[in-house]
Amino acid sequence: MNKFKNVYVVNHPLCCHNLSIIRDKNTSAEVFRNAIRRITYLLFYKATEDLELEDIKIETPLETCNAQKLSTKKEVIIAPILRAGLIFSDIANDIMPFATVRHIGMYRDEETLTPIWYYNKIPIEFENPNDKIILILDPMLATGNSAIDSIKLFINKGVPEQNIRFVSLISAPEGLENVQQNYPNIKIITAHIDDRLNEHGYICPGLGDAGDRIFNTVEN
């Protein structure tokens, strides 16, 4: 249980174990990436648990049986925020090969902590926005400003809040508060809610800069 409505913390022993690996500043980029990948499967188990199914009949080699498959009426859109979100989208793509991937390019202005867009090829209008399920991916939900901007992008195209999920590895309470004040019905799936943000907008205790650690660009 946590104090935030619509925030699901995947408090699984394997998440806790792998979080301890990625938080360690001495963990190499390779081990860091692999531990995140293991957590990602657990996050997506939760993030996709309410995808719609439809009943079908199939022939096994022995007889006809009733089965269920994902509804073809819904389009799943995976939206990783560049660049750290790419680590999630690899796995998301693997377990949902039918999904569409729409990249969101934004970086954080280190002074104002506001997002600056640099890449957005998402169609201006969506046909049948009610039938889109959006999974926005960013390992670190810090101030919540990039989350809000990316959620707004889909809301402005007519996608209902209920159809949007935000998947993060670690979240700051300040960011969760910010997102929920703006979009109370967005579901957020995370592996941990940390203590606080520091004065530079980094999550504490956190794990440092996720993108730098994933792509091995940490400067000492």
* Binding interface with ligand URA (CB under 6 A): 84, 140, 142, 202-203, 206, 209-211
List C-alpha distances in Å: 68 to 54, 95, 132: 5, 17, 20
CA diameter of the chain = 65
CB nearer to ligand URA: pick between 76 and 86: 86
Evaluate whether 139 touches 168 at the Cβ level (below 8 Å). Answer: yes
Residue (126 or 175) nearer to ligand URA, CB: 175
Closest contact distance (angstroms) between CB of 205 and ligand URA is 9
Nearer to ligand URA, 92 or 147 (CB): 147
- When the beta carbons of 22 and 153 are compared against ligand URA, the nearer one is 22
Beta-carbon contacts of 167 under 8 Å, excluding residues fewer than 6 positions away, are 43, 44, 47, 88, 135, 136, 137, 138, 188, 189, 190
- β strands within 71-114, DSSP E: 75-82, 100-101, 104-108
CB of 77 to ligand URA, least distance (A): 23
